[in-house]
Amino acid sequence: MTITDDRNHGETIIAPHSWMRRRRWLILGLIFTITVINFVDRQTLSVLAPVLEKTFHLSNVQYGRIVSALQFGMMSGELPMGYLMDRWGARFGLAAAVLWWSAATGAQAFTRSGWQFGLTRFGMGTGECANFSGGIKTVTRLFEKNERTLAIGIFNSGGMIGATVAPPLIVFLLQRYGFRAAFLVPAFAGFLWVPIWWLAYGRESKPQEVARQTQTSIWIMLGKSSAWAVMLCRFLVGPVMQFYWYWIPSYLFTVRHFSLIQIGIVGWIPFFLGDAGGVAGGWSAGLLQRRGVTIRNTRRITMYGGSLFCLTSLAVPYMNSAAAALMMIGVAIMADNFLSANMFAAITDLFPDHQVGRATGLTGVAGGLSGLLFPLLTGTLIDHVSYTPVFLLVAFMPLAGTIALFAFGRQYRESSRPVQV
Average pLDDT of each block of 10 consecutive residues along the chain (421 residues)?
40 48 84 92 82 80 80 82 80 91 91 85 90 85 81 82 81 86 92 92 57 60 85 92 83 86 81 86 87 88 95 93 91 93 86 78 83 83 90 95 88 49 30
Report the distance separating Cα 394 and Cα 312, nearest Å: 10
Chain-centre distance of CA 281, in angstroms?
Answer: 14
**12 beta partners:** 4
Please, are residues 35 and 139 in contact by the beta-carbon 8 Å criterion?
no
Phi, psi of 157 (to 5 degrees): -70, -15
pLDDT at position 361 is 81
What sign for the dihedral angle of Cα 275, 278, 282, 287? positive
Q: How far apart are CA 217 and CA 200, in angstroms?
A: 32
pLDDT score of 282: 84
Helices (H), 7-144: 18-22, 24-47, 49-55, 60-88, 90-107, 114-128, 130-142
Q: Which residues contact 399 (CB under 8 A, 6 or more apart)?
A: 304, 307, 308, 310, 311
Domain at 2-414, CATH from 3.50.30.30, 1.20.1250.20, 3.40.190.10, 3.30.70.20: 1.20.1250.20
Instruction: Output the pLDDT for position 327.
Output: 92
Rounded Cα gap, residues 392 and 387, in angstroms: 9
Cα gap 246→169, rounded to integer Å: 16
